[in-house]
Chain A
């Protein structure tokens, strides 16, 4: 069992009691809600005649169902309109702060909370969304929960949970040029597999992680869940503190000094004990692309899709399914596979630095005429900053459509969907069957820079050929 890791420290701090069944009752410091997984939780409160215990510890925004073309109300989609209205009503009734469309602070919940300074080291953070692991980039212990647990957090500010084991993933050396956080995390998931993280929190550490910006660290922790780990985190450092400083909800004045003092004490001890340790050499990683139907089925841009015979019996079963679904051949190069849709956005890669990198690739270039390309900023703040820097214009000039913030085609709950068996190059996080809105649509996950390169060439390409 792990000892003296950040997870141990934060867990112990937030432990309210040991429950009769043997799991722990854990206090949730920050609860984030959105329109998809909260209505039934509020409904359950009503059924049980319960109130929200600490309304000021829950913050809401709307992201999954929002249209990205025309956000005027009422939404064209009646069901989407009903969902946003329900969230508005619930927040009003229970006095929960809601960052609605047009507030300047709306966006994907995992983009919004960090950029407002709500996400801070040492907190426990929960949200009815599996990508809550994103917030671990700040040294918080953050995890996705289901709707029944959303109900429990609303009613009690606590949940019942078994303590997670801790696996440290030590990333040596540095990423090479044209290789990004997305490539690193796809590589890690490929190495360890999509279920290796079950029962674990992943602690990402080492020189390659230290080197990353906060937004890149969020990309890494975001995808912990794709490796099976409900929670992923990085010990906070000076980069963490300076990212938070002066944000809207960050501690101010003398509180800032107190916060800083406490945050600096928060990290895994040098001689802490882990349940498992893994080493990765970051310098050997190439731009990475998925070819199958799980985020673990990825290869470097210059590699070939594996042969079935090379795979372990377990991997083989899913690979067979992937070949049938994707209609790719064993041994085929991933490079030059034609793409029809290019999507830049999501809680994984929809932040300002992602847009900057993609815009740099796209500047003075044109999107292939066979490609429909669109960019969905992660939040209103991201969109506004991009416009201030003129990035929106670079995207538009290249042939990308510039959209309004939301989750969009990461999970296709709005009208942004693949059609038929289209192949998409996507900066999102899941290449599951049907994930992007068409029951036979095909998703290739990659970094935003690689999506930009694919958009220009109309096929999977090595972005390093576009950057000097």
Chain B
């Protein structure tokens, strides 16, 4: 028995080289061709924002997921990195220094690292609530500085620069969004790869150990405090890189990049995606950016829906979206995932329809309360109707109730199928 176990181990290790590279190769291909699929300028703008958010969320998860440190003020490391990059842009332009734009994010990273080193030197002494409160305080402090130290933060209107400052880099002037996209995509891949590798180093592994049981780690020769400090510095570095990319993409940074709203949303994004897996924050960043950009065009209430999604995730799926995906791995490995398809369609589809019905009700109430008097007509799901007449209300209530009723009715079937799909054949259960 132990022989087969170790043989399996070797086989896995031997085959892992190619297996480990696959996600990265797929990512490179996707990043390379996606601008040819979504060619519009707005799509590329969304993708740029997405990529920047991914870098930031991954950096944040080095603390939250891997180090077990809950920070309420992480936006400042991204923000300070970004502010610094805008200043460098302007400085280089004024003095015509030979600094090509593509290396600029590195400086953002170094300034993020510098600030994290200073703050981390006292904030990482304790984990848990003490760390969270210090991060909150420092975050607020630096955000408040932005209106006080106007020379650096530019006061209320922020600081702006021009990314086309220097000589063309191999003929590229970064005038077009698409050129910026490929620059950001390159940094995204590089940062994600480095962060992934970091999690596989001794200090990265010990970050996990300290997260799980700091006391035990101390009795293995590691100072929990220093392990936390190094995680904090590394996280600050990559957050600074995200800031540098932000500076290049938007050419302006303001107080909004530092404040608690920004710090809060990166926490939300990371948690939504799932802190337990390396790729969790990537999913979170993609979903959140899509909701933020696409959904916000459709409805003014998008934040309500994002909030509801977040609460539902925290309550029912603490592993986040990545956790939901990985829950299915045992069934897929046993080749029994097919058993789940029909039950899923029978429960999830009515749940979606019911939720859309509920959303329609909320939208209609919002329209009645907030539209100008006399404006009784509204359009929802490509249908125009009078929000003050009874029929649409009846339809919406009917759809909502039926959707949720069907979900409830079919839920036991899904449970049975789930149990069946996760039971090894032949074992008594």
Q: Do A and B bind?
A: no
A-side residues, CB < 8 A to B, are none
Binding site for A on B (CB under 8 A): none
